[in-house]
Amino acid sequence: MRFEYSPAPESRAIVTLRDSYGLFIGGAFVPGSSVFKTISPASEEVLAEVTHAGPEDVDRAVAAARQAYERTWSAMPGRERGKYLFRIARLIQERSRELAVLETMDNGKPIRESRDVDVPLAAAHFFYHAGWADKLGYAGFGPSPRPLGVVGQVIPWNFPLLMLAWKVAPALACGNTVVLKPAETTPLTALLFAEICQQADLPPGVVNIVTGDGATGQALVAHPGIDKVAFTGSTEVGKEIARACAVSGKRLTLELGGKAANVVFDDAPVDQAVEGIVNGIFFNQGHVCCAGSRLLVQESVYDEVLAALRRRMGTLRLGDPLDKNTDVGAINSRAQLDKISELVSSGEAEGASRWSAPCPLPDRGFWFAPTVFTEVSQAHRIAREEIFGPVLSVLTFRTPAEAVEKANNTPYGLSAGVWTEKGSLILWMASRLRAGVVWANTFNRFDPSSPFGGYKESGFGREGGRHGLEAYLDVTGNADV
Ligand code: TAP
């Protein structure tokens, strides 16, 4: 049965967009060298003009961060730093609706996801790390771990505010100051976060935000005044950054791409597994580094699982991201839509069989219907390359050993999922899957206390949990490390 829903749009009235945004340097919004426009991917409407930071602007931001590091932040007792982080966390909660609506407008993701996932998790990251700020000496890195200095952080467009929180909260809790570059297509929630820093009375220069494109990111990671680089984005750019940092003495963490296997055994409850498969690949339009983009189904239940999956995909509602009933929003940019379309065409050309959910696509904006490929071989590009869109590739297996072999047959290693009612099989699989996170009978679950990160070409370093703190601390000279 298909239910028809009346439109239930969230109001945009809560968001006050400025015509133009400056760079956030030294606690104030300042002009930069040039400007660019940020648009809504759902309507292609221009939302605002944003400043493009050139090398001299990056230089100013790094100088402001250095001054704040030396004069205030690194010398401030942890319990005082913690108060600022708690304050920021509470302000994110207070302004949650505004942040959620703005995120959805700029990114294209459904309001249900920005409201129920992105913004609450961003607040949770600040709450969690606020609690660590005065307890770093008890985190297992020796009695007096020290901050690293000025951190340069570059983030992608798929979870703009949440990736900012993953980066800024631990850096600040550990006593570092920050220069952050959001993605070119999604700068607006980072700029609203800058306002939150002002509202929280955060000392000027502790957080600096430089908007711009890849060249701005390049200038930031190459800047000699940076002590540590934290990057989340594609493996291709991650490799470039690793090369740029190689002989600089800068500390580096990389959170890169993924091609996760979601493995369904024949004893799994099919309806629950199908919900997990749908959540694994269609959540956030599949713009998720840890998306379950390769479904491995045990042969004996293949027909049953695929029939249930197609039925469920047929009920997904695609459209206005601000509508509270929308399941699948807009693709973030034309460039990403082109990339998805090119990889999908390659899947068809290489002989895989395509099925897309029968949903009408809006005339304006960037859209792609939820799609599943069957008859996929491991050699196909759609089985090997990260599509970063709502496209699932299905493969089959007979034995657990074959499932492990196929799941690990990827240059990536960020996440994996296992669906079975046998606890022993879950543990057997988890100990063999080469992935930073393995979910059992669920998918895409996040918590600030749980470390997240990759193996192989998915990068190195962990974010979240006690492990994530280490990336922002100098632990040398501590005897018990
Ligand atoms: P990228 O193209 O790599 O961009 C990421 C960020 O780096 C953007 O801010 C980008 O600026 C900037 N950038 C581009 N070229 C740069 C350079 N040469 N030097 C320094 N910075 C540069 O990735 P994306 O397309 O935005 O994001 C999608 C990718 O991120 C996927 O592969 C996804 O798997 C990965 N991702 C990983 C994780 C984790 S936790 N592992 C989480 C989310 C996303 P512009 O926006 O201006 O290009």
The closest residue, in CA terms, to atom 48 on ligand 1 is: 214
Query: Around 174, how many Cα atoms within 13 Å sit in the side-chain half-sphere?
Result: 29
Q: How far is the CA of 466 from the centre of ligand 1 (A)?
A: 25
CB 310 within 8 A of CB 392: no
Ligand 1: nearest atom to the Cα of 235 = 32
Q: Which atom of ligand 1 is nearest to the CA of 181?
A: 9
pLDDT score for 381: 98
Beta-carbon count within 10 A of 8 CB: 12
Q: Which candidate in 174, 245, 289, 290 is catalytic?
A: 289
Report the pLDDT value the prediction gives residue 5, as an integer from 0 to 100. Answer: 85
Q: Which residues of the chain have pLDDT under 70?
A: 1-2, 477-481
Distance 339 CA to ligand 1 centre (A): 14
Quote the ligand 1 centre to 182 CA distance (angstroms): 9
Would you state the structure tokens that stand for residue 156, as one six-digit string?
């992608």
pLDDT score recorded for residue 3? 74
Phi, psi of 459 (to 5 degrees): 110, -170
What per-residue confidence (pLDDT) applies to 477?
A: 65
Phi/psi at 393 (5° precision):
-110, 125
- Nearest Cα residue to atom 16 of ligand 1: 214
pLDDT digits (tens, 9 = 90+) for 293-310: 999 999 999 999 999 999
Do 142 and 478 contact (CB within 8 A), yes or no?
yes
Confidence (pLDDT) at 247: 86
Q: Is residue 241 lining ligand 1, measured as CB closer than 6 Å?
A: yes
Q: Which of 10, 103, 113, 255 is catalytic?
A: 255
How high is the pLDDT of residue 478?
A: 55
257 in contact with ligand 1, CB cutoff 6 A: yes
Q: Is 4 a catalytic residue?
A: no
The answer to whether residue 421 is catalytic is no
CA 51 to each of CA 38, 153, 184, 197, 236: distance values in angstroms, whole numbers, following the listed order: 10, 18, 10, 19, 26
Which pLDDT belongs to residue 479?
A: 45
pLDDT, position 480: 45
- Which numbered atom of ligand 1 lies nearest the CA of 240? 18
CB 78 less than 6 A from any atom of ligand 1? no
pLDDT in the model for residue 476: 81
Distance (angstroms) between ligand 1 centre and the Cα of 155 equals: 6
* Rounded Cα distance, 201 and 27, in Å: 9
- The residue whose C-alpha atom lies closest to atom 43 belonging to ligand 1 is 289
Closest approach atom of ligand 1 to CA 212: 47
CA distance 421 to 24: 51
**What is the number of residues in the chain?**
481
According to the 3-state scheme, what is the secondary structure of 336-372?
Answer: HHHHHHHHHHHHHHCCCEEEECCCCCCCCCCCCCCEE
Query: What pLDDT was estimated at residue 388?
Result: 98
Q: Is the pTM of this model over 0.85?
A: yes
Distance 134 CA to ligand 1 centre (A): 32
If you measure from the C-alpha of residue 455 to the centroid of ligand 1, how many angstroms do you get, rounded to a whole number?
Answer: 17
Span 452-479, pLDDT tens digits: 999 999 999 999 999 999 999 998 865 4
